Amino acid sequence: MSKVVLARSAGFCYGVRRAVELAEEKAAQKIPCVMLGSIIHNREVVDRLAAQGLRAVERPEDVPADCAVMIRSHGESRAVHEDFSRRGIQVFDATCPNVTRIHQIVAEAEKRGRQPVIVGTPDHPEVLAIAGWCRAPVVVSGEEELEKWLNFKENRQKLPLTFVSQTTSTKKIWEDCVKKAKKLCTNAEFFDTICGATSKRQEEARQLAAQCGLMVVVGDRQSSNTKRLAEICQESCSNVLLIERAEDLDPGQLPQVDMVGITAGASTPAWIIKEVIDKMS
């Protein structure tokens, strides 16, 4: 039987735990409330909250007038907050504090006449929310897109640029962008806003994958940090499985290895991780 090793920091991070606990608290209080989108990227958690009476709606206009709304951990744009304020809708804000800090950085940068540049996945909810605190945001997914944007028009390299990162990006993507910007730009400032918990999980996953014949990454496939963990594990381990729950595993079909590593995205609850370990053991 393979030795099964769990990464030390697998599972909920502070921001996700804070958001889920706030949602559970409001559900227990039976306050008429809906979530705007999935409060975190984990269907199991969202389904449990729905069963407790806290359902999700997809658009701000879908929030009933006689109902409170919970902002998900990824945050929302300034326009969404202003819309709820104008409509007199009570807001329970579960935005991760690390993400709120990025909103403040980009908004302040524009006040100072600078151009915010967001390094991240353009269609990710967190990135869309950050962009929503700027009048004219620039979003690049990595070094190549940054270089294309800088070279597309004359004088862009001379603009006063303020760089921030999606919290769940990787250090490599961020550092490659910083290196490129420092080489090409004459007036750039950098705020490394990658979450410390994210970096810690990624480094633990990298080290564990290098020791294992099989890595199992547990988390919702829509979760950016889960997908990043899988990518990092693949750099060091030839057998990597990304699963959402224990039911996705068939132990009889797994490669025979001496050691199996398990890690989990920051939106993966402890009960799912335990079920996976129990099935692997």
- The DSSP-derived string for 80-142 is HHHHHHHHT--EEE---HHHHHHHHHHHHHHHTT-EEEEES-TTSHHHHHHHTTSSS-EEESS
Quote the CA–CA distance of 15 and 27 in Å, as a whole number: 18
Strand pairing class (214-218; 240-243): parallel
Quote the CA–CA distance of 141 and 117 in Å, as a whole number: 10
Does residue 126 have an active-site annotation? yes
Amino acid, single-letter form, for residue 38: S
126, 143, 204, 244: the active-site residue: 126
Amino acid, single-letter form, for residue 19: A
36 has which bridge partners? 57, 71
Which residues carry out catalysis? 126
